[in-house]
Structure formats: structure tokens, C-alpha cells
Amino acid sequence: MKQENTKFNFARAMEQLEEINHWFESEEVDLEEGIKKFDQGMKLIDACKERLKQVENKIIKIKG
């Protein structure tokens, strides 16, 4: 496992995604800021997927 993944906080990433979602639901959405937030959200989603895959693999190994 990579060191950066050991420091990844799944719960915090989900909170950040929720914040981004709420931002997009607001009435005033700036296009440039929206692009940045979309990119940030996609990176968070990728990181969450990677972490979930690691956990799934660990569970499979334990059950093995």
C-alpha cells in the first residue's frame, strides 16, 4: 500500500464531496469556480474508489 493512501481520510473526502455538491446546488455558481470544484470532486471520487478497492482486496485476502 502506498504511503499517501495510509493517510487518506475516507470520511473527510466524503464530507468534501458533500460540500462540493451543496455548492453546485446554490443559486450563484461561477463557471470558473465550478470547473475547479468539478475537477476537485473527480479527484476525490477517484481516491475514494481506490480506497474502497484496497479495503475490498484486504477483506478478500482475510476471508481467503
Q: Please write down the HEC assignment for all residues of 2-60.
A: CHHHHCCCHHHHHHHHHHHHHHHHCCCCCHHHHHHHHHHHHHHHHHHHHHHHHHHHHHH
pTM for the full model? 0.81
Share above pLDDT 70 across residues of the chain, in percent, rounded to a whole number: 91
Q: What is the pLDDT of residue 29?
A: 87
* pLDDT at 52 > cutoff 80: yes
More confident residue, 59 or 2: 59
Phi and psi of 7, rounded to 5°?
Answer: -95, -5
Domains, the chain, ranges and CATH?
Answer: 3-63 (1.10.287)
- The average pLDDT across 5-27 equals 92
Contact 23, 29 (CB under 8 A): yes
